[in-house]
């Protein structure tokens, strides 16, 4: 069946294809996204269970359609929680921005109601571990994967700066068995206050500081990512995110885009384009 083929294709972690330094989902996984979105929207909900971690109390959902089962994560945080403004709609907006930019690091995410409540439903992608798991166990990333994971670390910081994701934790940076980076949990993103439009979270002038008091840098970035930022307009973002962001939130994102491009231009001027873009 079509959905069965798509599900098997998407869930596969086959190592036949080396992902590019930009997108972390494999080409066949990216090609299956539209089908996965439809599966999330239309499949029957078989059962739900609390995941047991995370302040937004996510729910694990088991779905079935045409004899094929899949899993997803449902969330519906809204409003001020634990001192942070939360919004389930930002999970969907982050995924749609991922698609617009070509980031290919966030699993398919759609809107779906559960027990009469609106929320986000994100496809469950099997991963080997989180960055937190590695740190708690003292497990180093193998040298063979170091360059790939470092590049994705810098790209994650740049993307989080763009969407003002103030809740990137080691737990929501996930690694597949072959050390591809998958990003989850974006309900604390897309801020529009002045503190989130005049400065970025990361980068040379970022407000977040490491243990030594210095900024968390994005040392190298994909040229395709920077080109996508340059091409971005209010209209293109509005088309991508639909009603999941307000006009103010979109304008705030574009203000951060400008700051991010300024950082990149200064890095290139100081180091040379070949040392910054790849």
Q: Are strands 59-65 and 44-50 parallel, antiparallel or unpaired?
A: antiparallel
Q: Do 133 and 268 have their domain in common? A: yes
DSSP-assigned states of every residue in 68-121: EEEEEEEE--EEEETTEEEETHHHHHHHHHHHHHT---S--EEE--BTTB--EE
Q: Do 182 and 53 have their domain in common? A: no
For residue range 2-51, what is the model confidence (pLDDT) as tens digits? 444 444 434 433 333 344 446 689 899 999 999 999 999 999 999 999 98
Domain count along the chain: 2
For residue range 202-252, what is the model confidence (pLDDT) as tens digits? 999 999 999 999 999 999 999 999 999 999 999 999 999 999 999 999 999
Domain that holds residue 75: 2-123
Report d(CA 86, CA 173) in Å as an integer: 19
Q: Do 21 and 55 have their domain in common? A: yes
Report d(CA 109, CA 165) in Å as an integer: 17
Last residue of a domain, one of 104, 123, 142: 123
For residue range 121-157, what is the model confidence (pLDDT) as tens digits? 999 998 999 999 999 999 999 999 999 999 999 999 9
Q: Do 144 and 266 have their domain in common? A: yes
Query: Quick one: average pLDDT of 108-127?
Result: 96
The whole-number pLDDT of residue 8 equals 40
Q: Do 55 and 140 have their domain in common? A: no
Q: Do 48 and 117 have their domain in common? A: yes
Q: Which residues pair with 71 in a beta bridge?
A: 62
- H/E stretch holding 35: helix 33-42
Statement: the pTM of the whole predicted model exceeds 0.75:
yes
Q: How many CA atoms lie within 13 A of 182 on its CB side?
A: 23
Instruction: DSSP letter for 142, please.
Output: P
**Contact status, residue 140 vs residue 150, Cβ threshold 8 Å:** no
Instruction: DSSP letter for 231, please.
Output: H
């Amino acid at each position: 069946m079509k959905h069965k083929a798509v599900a098997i294709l998407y869930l596969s972690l086959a190592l036949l294809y080396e992902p590019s330094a930009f997108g972390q989902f494999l080409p066949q996984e990216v090609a299956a996204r539209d089908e996965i979105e439809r599966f999330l929207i239309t499949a029957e909900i078989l059962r739900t269970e609390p995941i047991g971690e995370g302040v937004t109390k996510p729910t694990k959902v088991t779905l079935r359609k045409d004899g094929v089962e899949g899993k997803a994560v449902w969330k519906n945080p809204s409003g001020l929680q634990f001192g942070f403004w939360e919004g389930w709609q930002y999970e969907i907006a982050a995924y749609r921005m991922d698609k617009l930019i070509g980031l290919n690091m966030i699993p398919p995410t759609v809107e779906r109601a559960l027990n009469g409540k609106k929320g986000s439903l994100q496809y469950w992608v099997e991963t080997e571990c989180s960055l937190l798991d590695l740190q708690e166990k003292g497990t180093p990333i193998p040298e063979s994967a170091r360059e790939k994971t470092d590049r994705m670390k810098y790209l994650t910081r740049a993307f989080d700066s763009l969407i003002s994701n103030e809740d990137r934790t080691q737990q929501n940076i996930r690694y597949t068995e072959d050390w591809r980076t998958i990003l989850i949990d974006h309900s604390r993103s897309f801020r529009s206050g002045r503190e989130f439009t005049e400065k970025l979270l990361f980068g040379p002038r970022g407000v977040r500081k490491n243990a030594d008091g210095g900024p968390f840098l994005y040392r190298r970035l994909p040229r395709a990512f920077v080109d996508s930022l340059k091409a971005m307009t209010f209209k293109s973002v509005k088309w991508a995110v639909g009603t999941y962001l307000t006009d103010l939130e979109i304008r705030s994102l574009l203000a951060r885009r400008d700051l991010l491009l300024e950082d990149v231009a200064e890095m290139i001027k100081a180091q040379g384009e070949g040392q910054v873009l790849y």
